[in-house]
């Protein structure tokens, strides 16, 4: 019995939806937009992969060049024919020139779905011993204006455009019956109107969601290969996107249950969309930046410079004097660069860097703590804005969340320390100055690259079930209201 | 007062009004009968200047009606089948608005008088129109017509859906206006009302006027027979 | 007559509870936006102003050092917060604001604030600019979408048209009623903004800012009028509230979000940017191996030494009356400078091609055109940023010259010397320059203005039963 009602309604819905020219053309348009967003995302991914390929090439070329040059010097009784600042047997020179290695965050395939933070955070660093990457890095050359405008990715289409499409699909599911006058006929049939309307919303939801994934999945496989299908990231991503659609259908059902006119329904739904999708995140931003202000990197810089100035008042002053005024350095005649001068610079750089690193450690810790606090607050307030929740979870699932980039940055920091530990002793080897050998060239530390797709730091399950609960409550409330109003 | 000369209206290939000739004198109440689609409303819409005629002329007090012609619009008032008013405004505010739009600046007491003439209870005047019954809206519609001091009144199925008492009240007001020299053109399905209220009766079919009768000269039974005969044609 | 129509529309609007709710919401958002923009301005401008002082003080009190080493300590040029950033902070947070003035390293602006922001930032930053560009148009559409169609839906149109009022008067009445609502909000914005600006500036700079403020408010007013006219016309054309709501909010969505973003992505494909890896490799090669047949750095250095020795008529480097290292630094500063200038210019030119491409799409979106106009007038745009970069880079080179001149004769520099290096200060150019940059968007907005006038004329002809 129930099944046959379902069948009747199902056929009815398909007829109604497919004969509505506005809906069909709108839907086709959105599908086109969806596909172009997927295409844009995958071409960005490909560009990153190409860049990483080039990085590997560059690195190999650098290492080869370094080794050849050292070999040549060693074969030539340690005589370097060129400029002394380019002589690779000085550890300090190599550390500046061909030594620095790249640290790369391997892009995860699903990144094609969500740009997240990957347009404002670098996915590779060239790691120097004397430059703190967060103070000096140049991220990928990005047009600030385009960054400001924002990205056009799958996440944007799903989070912003699809709710509106769902609204257009369902805002008048009850009110149109009233306005057309078919309401009376439905009322006289022996089925509960509330149940019928609920079924119709459910049918529309199923049609919508199934159709969505039938388009997205094959297209994505054609663009980025099918390996993502077996990741848990993908399963969760599908679950969350479907949940998000369900949320909007449920809200639409609830709004319908108030028996207002189609026009008022549409306005209320648009307002909910605007409020939860744009205004709440903005308000949250105002509040969070007041509660947990993020310090400027300028402060860090100022502290670093203060420490250096302090250092040069005494210890640094003596060290420089020692280095530059020693008879061996012959610096008094600032025309010729001597080996001791190269060495001396190396020592000064190394000493100052230690001072700088110590000075900024506190400020750096504060910066990351504040951002982390904001992040924690965001996950607490996610309930207020489904759009925000989706953005956070989609970023986490596609490996483009701030947390993941921060993790990468911390790993790079560790790697930088490792690199420093490698060079410093060689730079401080006072007796010979020229300590860097062929074996050292092979021993330069390498960064172990990862894709940071792990999302275990976020509590997906809890968010998912909370939202599922909200949806259930919304549907139940809508159903109750509808029962009352259709009596 | 009102004159239609060879009035024709075509919507695409469909002829809604076919060479209509009609003259309504001062103080006449002319009732147009006819089935749905006979051309009654089209005639009224042309006289009101809502739609242009395809050919022929409609004249009000010697002035030719064209779309948005204000010389003729000043002379007419219109009461549709359902008098739609602004629901968020009170009856009084609606009247104030429309009388203002017609270029009159009445005092509050004068406006109340119009409302009372139209038969609206004093207590309802300051309530929002969204709470009004159909009959009450009709009365505000009449008040709007009264306010304009129109010389010609156009009514489109004015009494459909009114209870007998309200309908009777309505007839009295129209008769009263006619005595003051207002010409009325009323489209209706109600044969009895046409016979009782109108002094002239026209029966339309497929865009043309089939009969033009004086109501004293025709009995209710004859009228019914004539009407049915015409409607039966080409059915 | 029109007054009567306006009064009636306003009465209807104010008696609709949804309009009251909307008004309340937008007003509270407005005050929040003002507060947020103001707080942003105050904290940022004081931080940057103070930091500029501090960084220079650190530089001039660094004590005795090798001049070159001291120059490497350098100091920073901070881009001061735009004077109208409390209205619209444009791309300020996306460009960064710190420029390191350090020898032989072409400066780059660093510290994009956006890198230290959470995902919330992608939802926008609520200030008056954001409100005016994103939320106000939607609000106007929500107010106007049924201003005409309700007459058809209520059936009041017949009574209205049979009155003495002409179609033009009816149109004007409705338009002005909506405008009254919209413009009164703009008046509040303008007043509040003026008060804040007056509070934050001394008389001189307040007077200097007035023209820019005037143009901004004028632009905002005209923009809102245009949006209101479009909303009203569409309501009349569709004669259906729901259809006009869908059309208008669709237009808004496409114009505000979809089209700019899509145009941005397309522009990245039409004018692909160089990756920083390629940039680094290319500039390194050009510096090391020379452009054309300049030859390797070592060869050029040898040549320079020979020339210098010939100039001073000596045979050995040790006999030079000046130090040779600063001369090489100065020499390569120049030749490397040419390489870097060219490379950065190529990047800037490519970005400006991308920007133009995106802006051209504003022929389809007045919202985007207004956003561009707003950034230009408030000097939070890319042109102002490039202007700052240019001036900071010039300053950097000036410092380089001063230090190298000193270094040719001295090996130790003290605070007395450091104090001779001038401090950096930047002020964005005035209204003439800003308007010049905004020509394109003003042209587009004029086009849209004409379109909306056309639409009003066209739609008012359709005012029939």
One DSSP character per residue, C64-121 reads SB-HHHHHHH-EEEEPPPPTTTTT--TTHHHH--EEEE-TTS---EE--GGGG--GGG
Residue C103 pLDDT: 81
For chain A, what percentages of helix, strand and coil (3-state, to nearest 5) are there? 75, 0, 25
Q: Is the pLDDT of residue A320 over 50?
A: yes
Contact A355, A390 (CB under 8 A): no
Q: What is the average pLDDT across C88-92? A: 90
Provide the token pair at A214.
């039938």
Q: Is residue B82 part of a domain?
A: no
Chain C residues within an 8 Å CB radius of B82: 155
Contacts of C123 in chain A (CB under 8 A): 277-278, 281-282, 285, 387-388
Contact by Cβ (8 Å): B77, C162? yes
Asked if residue B66 and residue B91 are part of one domain, the reply reads no
> How close B72 gets to chain C, by Cα (Å)?
10
Q: Taking CB atoms and an 8 Å cutoff, what residues of chain A touch C278?
A: 54
So what's the pLDDT on residue C156?
87
Note whether C158 contacts B80, CB cutoff 8 Å: yes
Taking the Cβ of residue A474 and every Cβ of chain C, the question of whether any pair is shorter than 8 Å is answered with no
pLDDT at A331: 46
- B89 with C1: Cβ contact below 8 A: no
Among C122, C268, C325, the strongest candidate for a mutation testing the A interface, having the largest count of A CBs within 10 A, is C122
| Residue reference for tokens 């002793």 | A425
In this structure, are B114 and B127 located in the same domain? Answer: yes
pLDDT > 90? residue A96: no
The ipTM estimated for the assembled molecules is 0.88
Give the gyration radius of chain A's Cα atoms: 31
The predicted pLDDT at position B234 comes to 60
Q: What DSSP string runs through C276-334?
A: HHHHHHHHHHHHHH-STT---HHHHHHHHHHHHHHHTT-SSGGG-SS-HHHHHHHHHHH
Contacts of A138 in chain C (CB under 8 A): 108, 110, 276
- Phi and psi, residue C312, nearest 5°: -95, 5
Give me the DSSP letters along B86-141.
-TTSBHHHHHHHHHHHTT----HHHHHHHHHHTT--GGGTTSBGGG--HHHHHHHH
Task: From C445, C253, C262, select the one nearest C363 (Cα to Cα).
Answer: C445
pLDDT at position A330:
47
Helix (H) or strand (E) holding C342: helix C324-360
Q: Cα separations (Å) of C7 from A420, B115, B131, C70?
A: 76, 21, 22, 73
Residue numbers of A between 118 and 177 with CB closer than 8 Å to C: 120-121, 124, 126, 135-136, 138-152, 156, 160-161, 164, 168, 172
Q: Answer yes or no: is B80 within a domain.
A: no
Residue in A277, A283, A336 closest to C317 by CB = A336
pLDDT tens string C214-269: 999 999 999 999 999 999 999 999 988 888 988 998 899 999 989 999 999 999 99
Q: How far C2 CA sits from the closest chain B CA (Å)?
A: 9
Q: What average pLDDT does this structure show over A344-373?
A: 83
Half-sphere exposure of B67 (CA within 13 A, CB side): 11
Residue B71 clears pLDDT 80, i.e. is over it: no
pLDDT, average across residues A340-351: 78
Q: B165 and B215 share a domain?
A: yes
Chain C residues close to A54, C-beta within 8 Å: 275, 277-278
Q: What share of chain C is helix, strand, coil (3-state, %, to 5)?
A: 75, 5, 20
3-state secondary structure of A174: coil
Q: Are A86 and A93 in contact (CB under 8 A)?
A: yes
Do B161 and B71 sit in the same domain of this protein? yes
Angle between helices C324-360 and C439-461 in degrees, nearest 10: 10
User: Are B84 and C4 inside 8 Å of each other by CB?
Assistant: no
DSSP 8-state secondary structure symbol assigned to residue A107? P
CB distance A146–C54 less than 8 Å? no
Task: Say yes or no for a CB contact (<8 Å) between C465 and B51.
Answer: yes
- Cβ atoms of C69 and A347 within 8 Å: the answer is no
Mean pLDDT score across all residues of chain B? 86
Chain A interface mutation, best of C30, C261, C308, C367, highest count of A Cβ atoms under 10 Å: C261
The number of beta carbons lying within 10 Å of the beta carbon of residue C284 is 12
Q: Is residue B136 part of a domain?
A: yes
By percentage, how much of chain A surpasses pLDDT 90?
35
- Chain B contact set for C161 (CB, 8 A): 48, 50
- Inform me whether the pLDDT recorded for B67 exceeds 60: yes
Q: Do C166 and B77 touch (CB under 8 A)?
A: no
- pLDDT confidence of residue C379: 93
CB–CB contact C116 A335 (8 Å): no
Q: Given the structure tokens 């004769």, which residue do they identify?
A: C409
Residue A136 scores a pLDDT above 70: no
Domain span at residue B124 reads: 87-149
Asked if residue B81 belongs to a domain, the reply is no
> Are B145 and B155 in the same domain?
no
Task: Taking residues C389-404, report their average pLDDT.
Answer: 91
Residue A125 vs residues A100, A101, A265, A411, A465: alpha-carbon distances, Å: 10, 8, 51, 11, 38
Grade residue A2 by pLDDT with cuts at 50, 70 and 90: low
Among chain B, residues having any CB pair with chain C shorter than 8 Å are 45, 48-51, 67-68, 70, 73-74, 76-78, 80, 82-89, 93, 97-98, 100-103, 141, 144
Q: Which residue has the higher pLDDT, C292 or C356?
A: C356
Using the predicted structure, report yes or no on whether residue C370 has a pLDDT greater than 90.
Answer: yes
Is A120's CB within 8 Å of C114's CB? yes
Do at least 3 CB pairs under 8 Å connect B with C?
yes
Looking at B133, B149, B165, which one is the last position of a domain?
Answer: B149
**What local confidence, expressed as pLDDT, does residue A1 receive?**
44
| Residue A233 structure tokens | 């990231």
The whole-number pLDDT of residue C412 equals 84
User: Which of B104, B128, B149 represents a domain boundary (last residue)?
Assistant: B149
Question: In terms of domains, do B133 and B188 share one?
Answer: no
| A309-330 mean pLDDT | 70
Question: How much is the mean pLDDT over chain A?
Answer: 85
Report d(CA A409, CA A403) in Å as an integer. 10
- Tell me what the pLDDT averaged over chain C comes to: 89
Residues of B in contact with C165 (CB under 8 A): 101
Of A156, A164, A348, the CB nearest to C261: A156
In this prediction, residue A141 carries a pLDDT of: 79
B7 and B64: one domain? yes
What's the gap in Å between the CA of C444 and the closest CA on chain B? Answer: 36
HSE (side-chain half, CA atoms, 13 Å) at C94: 24
Pairing mode of beta strands B55-60, B29-33: unpaired
Distance of CA C50 to the CA centre of its chain: 23
pLDDT for A479 equals 93
Does residue A309 or residue C235 have the better pLDDT?
C235
User: What is B35-88 written as a DSSP string?
Assistant: -TTSSHHHHHHHHHTSS--SEEEEEETTEEP-TT-HHHHTTEEEE-SS----TT
Residue C332 pLDDT grade (very low, low, confident, very high; cuts 50, 70, 90): confident
Question: What is the chain C residue with the closest CA to B89?
Answer: C12
From the list C116, C118, C138, which residue is nearest A367 (CB)? C116
B59: pLDDT strictly greater than 50: yes
CB A455 within 8 A of CB A233: yes
Could you tell me if B26 and B64 lie in one domain?
yes
Q: State yes or no: pLDDT of A322 exceeds 80.
A: no
* pTM listed for this prediction: 0.86
Please tell me the total count of domains within chain B. Answer: 2
**pLDDT > 60? residue A133:** no
Question: For C18-61, what is each residue's pLDDT tens digit?
Answer: 888 888 988 998 988 999 999 999 989 999 999 999 999 999 98
Task: Give CA–CA dist C438/C442, Å, rounded.
Answer: 6
Confidence label for A177 from pLDDT (cuts 50, 70 and 90): confident
Q: Does A259 touch chain C (CB under 8 A)?
A: no
Classify each residue of A467-477 as buried b or exposed e, where b means 16 or more C-beta atoms within 10 Å of its C-beta: beebbeebbee
pLDDT (average), residues B79-100: 85
A124-127 and C109-110 strand pairing: unpaired
Tell me the three state secondary structure of residue C406.
helix
B-chain residues within 8 Å CB-CB of C464? 50-51, 67
- Residue B144 sits in the same domain as residue B158: no
Q: Which of A402-416, C98-112, C162-176, C404-418 has the lowest mean pLDDT?
A: C98-112
Residue A333 clears pLDDT 60, i.e. is over it: no
Which residue on chain B is closest to C168 by alpha carbon?
B68
Q: Which letter, b or e, does each residue of C373-403 get, where b requires 16 or more Cβ atoms within 10 Å of its Cβ?
A: bbbbbbbbbbbbbbbbbebbbebbbebbebb
Nearest CA in chain B to C169: B101
What kind and span of H or E run contains A35? helix A21-75
Model pLDDT, residue A325? 64
Of C4, C15, C161, nearest to B50 by CB-CB distance is C161
Cβ proximity of C256 and C367 under 8 Å: yes
* pLDDT above 70: percentage of residues in chain A: 92
Question: Cβ separation of A333 and C323 shorter than 8 Å?
Answer: yes
Within 13 Å, how many C-alpha atoms sit on residue A144's CB side?
Answer: 24
Q: Do the chains contact at C135 and A278, CB–CB below 8 Å?
A: yes
Kindly tell me if the per-residue pLDDT of C351 is higher than 80: yes
Q: In this structure, are B95 and B11 located in the same domain? A: no
CA pair distance C419, A90, nearest whole angstrom = 35
Q: Which of B149, B181, B196 is the last residue of a domain?
A: B149
Phi, psi angles (nearest 5°) of residue C109: -80, 130
- The winner for highest mean pLDDT among A32-46, B67-81, C284-298 is A32-46
Contact C465 B102 (CB under 8 A): no
CB contact under 8 A, A283 and C126: yes
C-beta atoms of C47 and A296 within 8 A = yes
**Taking CB atoms and an 8 Å limit, are C115 and A121 in contact across chains?**
yes
The CATH number for B210's domain is 3.40.50.300
What does the DSSP 8-state code read for residue A108?
P
Position C425 scores a pLDDT of: 93
Are B31 and B117 in the same domain?
Answer: no
Interface of A with C in 178-237 (CB under 8 A): none
Q: For chain B, how many residues are written?
A: 235
Indicate contact of A with B: 3+ CB pairs under 8 A: no
Q: What mean pLDDT do residues A123-143 have?
A: 72
Check residue A332 and give its pLDDT: 45
Which residues from chain C sit within 8 angstroms of residue B68, using beta carbons? 166-167
Task: Say how far residue A322 (Cα) sits from the centre of its chain.
Answer: 48
Asked if residue C66 has pLDDT above 90, the reply is: no
- Other Cβ atoms within 10 Å of A12 Cβ, number: 13
What confidence score (pLDDT) does residue C450 get?
A: 97
């Amino acid at each position: 019995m129930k099944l046959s009602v379902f069948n009747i309604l199902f056929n009815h819905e398909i007829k109604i939806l497919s004969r509505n020219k506005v809906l069909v053309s709108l839907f086709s348009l959105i599908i086109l937009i969806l596909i172009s967003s997927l295409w844009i995302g995958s071409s960005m991914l490909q560009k990153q992969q190409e860049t990483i390929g080039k990085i590997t090439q560059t690195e190999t070329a650098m290492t080869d060049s370094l080794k050849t040059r050292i070999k040549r010097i060693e074969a030539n009784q340690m005589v370097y024919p060129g400029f002394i600042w380019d002589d690779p047997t000085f550890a300090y020179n190599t550390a500046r020139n061909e030594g620095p290695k790249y640290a790369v965050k391997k892009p995860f395939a699903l990144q094609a779905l969500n740009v997240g933070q990957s347009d404002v955070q670098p996915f590779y660093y060239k790691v120097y011993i004397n430059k703190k990457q967060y103070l000096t890095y140049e991220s990928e050359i990005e047009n600030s204006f385009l960054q400001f405008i924002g990205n056009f990715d799958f996440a944007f289409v799903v989070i912003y455009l699809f709710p509106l499409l769902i609204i257009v699909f369902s805002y008048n599911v009850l009110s149109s019956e009233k306005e057309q006058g078919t309401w009376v006929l439905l009322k006289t049939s022996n089925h509960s109107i509330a149940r019928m309307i609920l079924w119709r919303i459910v049918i529309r939801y199923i049609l919508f969601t199934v159709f969505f994934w039938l388009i997205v999945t094959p297209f994505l496989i054609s663009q980025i290969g099918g390996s993502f299908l077996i990741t848990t990231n993908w399963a969760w991503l599908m679950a969350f996107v479907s949940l998000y659609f369900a949320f909007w259908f449920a809200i639409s059902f609830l709004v319908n249950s108030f028996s207002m006119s189609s026009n008022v329904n549409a306005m209320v739904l648009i307002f909910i969309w605007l409020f939860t999708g744009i205004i709440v995140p903005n308000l949250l931003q105002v509040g969070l930046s007041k509660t947990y202000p993020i310090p400027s990197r300028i402060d860090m810089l100022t502290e670093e410079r203060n420490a250096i100035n302090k250092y040069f008042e005494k210890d640094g002053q003596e060290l420089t004097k020692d280095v530059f005024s020693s008879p061996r350095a012959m610096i008094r005649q600032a025309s010729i660069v001597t080996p001791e001068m190269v060495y001396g610079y190396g020592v000064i750089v190394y000493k100052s860097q230690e001072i700088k690193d110590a000075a900024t450690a506190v400020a750096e810790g504060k910066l990351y703590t504040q951002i982390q606090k904001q992040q924690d607050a965001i996950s607490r307030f996610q309930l207020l804005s489904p759009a925000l929740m989706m953005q956070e979870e989609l970023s986490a699932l596609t490996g483009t969340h701030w947390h993941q980039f921060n993790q990468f940055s911390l790993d790079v920091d560790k790697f930088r320390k490792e690199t420093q530990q490698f060079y410093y002793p060689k730079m401080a080897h006072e007796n010979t100055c020229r300590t860097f050998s062929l074996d050292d060239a092979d021993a330069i530390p390498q960064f172990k690259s990862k894709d940071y797709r792990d999302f275990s730091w976020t509590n997906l399950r809890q968010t998912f079930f909370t939202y599922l609960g909200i949806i259930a409550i919304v549907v139940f409330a809508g159903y109750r209201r509808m029962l009352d109003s259709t009596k | 007062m009102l004159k239609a000369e060879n009035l024709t209206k075509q919507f695409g290939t469909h002829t809604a009004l076919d060479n209509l000739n009609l003259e309504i004198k001062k103080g006449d109440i002319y009732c147009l009968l006819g089935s749905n689609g006979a051309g009654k409303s089209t005639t009224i819409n042309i006289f009101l200047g809502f739609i242009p005629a395809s050919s022929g002329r409609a004249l009000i007090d010697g002035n030719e009606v064209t779309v948005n012609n204000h010389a003729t619009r000043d002379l007419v008032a219109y009461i549709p089948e359902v008098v739609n008013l602004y629901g968020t405004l009170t009856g009084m505010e609606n009247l104030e608005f429309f009388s203002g739009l017609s270029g009159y600046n009445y005092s509050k007491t004068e406006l109340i008088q119009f409302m009372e003439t139209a038969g609206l209870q004093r207590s309802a005047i300051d309530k929002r129109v969204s709470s009004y019954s159909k009959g009450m809206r009709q009365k505000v519609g009449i008040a709007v017509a009264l306010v304009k001091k129109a010389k010609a009144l156009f009514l489109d199925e004015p009494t459909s859906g009114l209870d007998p008492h309200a309908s009777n009240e309505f007839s009295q007001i129209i008769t009263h206006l006619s005595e003051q020299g207002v010409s009325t053109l009323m489209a209706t399905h109600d044969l009895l009302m046409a016979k009782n209220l109108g002094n002239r009766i026209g029966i339309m079919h497929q865009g043309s006027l089939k009969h033009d009768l004086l109501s004293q000269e025709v009995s209710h039974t004859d009228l019914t027979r004539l009407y049915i005969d015409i409607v039966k044609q080409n059915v | 007559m029109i007054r009567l129509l306006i009064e009636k529309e306003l009465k209807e609007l104010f008696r609709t509870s949804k309009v009251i709710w909307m008004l309340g919401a937008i007003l509270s958002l407005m005050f929040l936006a003002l507060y947020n923009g103001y707080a942003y301005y105050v904290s940022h401008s004081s931080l940057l102003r103070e930091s500029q002082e501090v960084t220079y003080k650190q530089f001039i009190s660094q004590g005795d050092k090798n001049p070159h080493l001291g120059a490497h300590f350098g100091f920073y040029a901070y881009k001061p917060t735009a004077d109208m950033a409390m209205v619209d902070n444009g791309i300020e947070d996306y460009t960064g604001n710190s420029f390191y003035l350090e020898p032989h390293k072409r400066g780059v602006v660093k510290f994009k604030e956006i890198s230290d922001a959470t995902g919330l930032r992608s939802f926008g930053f609520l200030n008056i600019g954001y409100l005016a560009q994103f939320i106000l148009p939607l609000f106007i559409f929500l107010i106007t979408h049924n201003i005409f169609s309700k007459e058809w839906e209520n059936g009041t149109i017949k009574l209205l048209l049979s009155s003495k009022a002409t179609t033009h008067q009816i149109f004007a009445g409705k338009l002005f009623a909506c405008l009254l609502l919209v413009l009164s909000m703009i008046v509040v914005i303008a007043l509040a903004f003026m008060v804040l600006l007056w509070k934050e500036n001394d008389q001189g700079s307040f007077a200097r800012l007035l023209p820019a403020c005037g143009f901004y408010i004028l632009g905002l007013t005209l923009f809102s009028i245009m949006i209101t006219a479009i909303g009203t016309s569409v309501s009349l054309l569709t004669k259906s509230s729901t259809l006009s709501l869908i059309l208008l909010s669709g237009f808004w969505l496409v114009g505000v979000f979809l089209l700019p973003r899509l145009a941005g992505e397309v522009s990245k494909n039409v004018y692909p940017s160089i990756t920083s890896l390629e940039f680094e490799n290319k500039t390194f090669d050009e510096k090391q191996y020379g452009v054309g047949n300049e030859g390797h750095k070592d060869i050029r250095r040898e040549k320079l030494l020979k020339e210098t020795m010939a100039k001073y008529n000596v045979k050995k480097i040790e006999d030079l009356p000046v130090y040779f290292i600063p001369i090489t630094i100065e020499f390569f500063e120049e030749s490397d400078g040419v390489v870097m200038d060219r490379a950065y210019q190529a990047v800037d030119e490519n970005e400006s091609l991308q920007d133009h491409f995106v802006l051209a799409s504003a022929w389809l979106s007045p919202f985007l055109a207004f956003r561009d106009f707003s950034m230009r007038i408030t000097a939070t745009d890319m042109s102002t940023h490039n202007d700052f970069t240019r001036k900071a880079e010039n300053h950097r080179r000036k410092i380089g010259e001063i230090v190298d001149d000193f270094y040719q004769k001295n090996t130790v520099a003290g605070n007395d010397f450091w104090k001779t290096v001038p401090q950096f200060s930047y002020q964005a150019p005035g209204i003439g320059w800003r308007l010049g940059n905004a020509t394109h968007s003003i042209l587009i907005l004029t086009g849209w203005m004409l379109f909306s006038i056309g639409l009003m004329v066209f739609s008012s002809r359709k005012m029939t039963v």
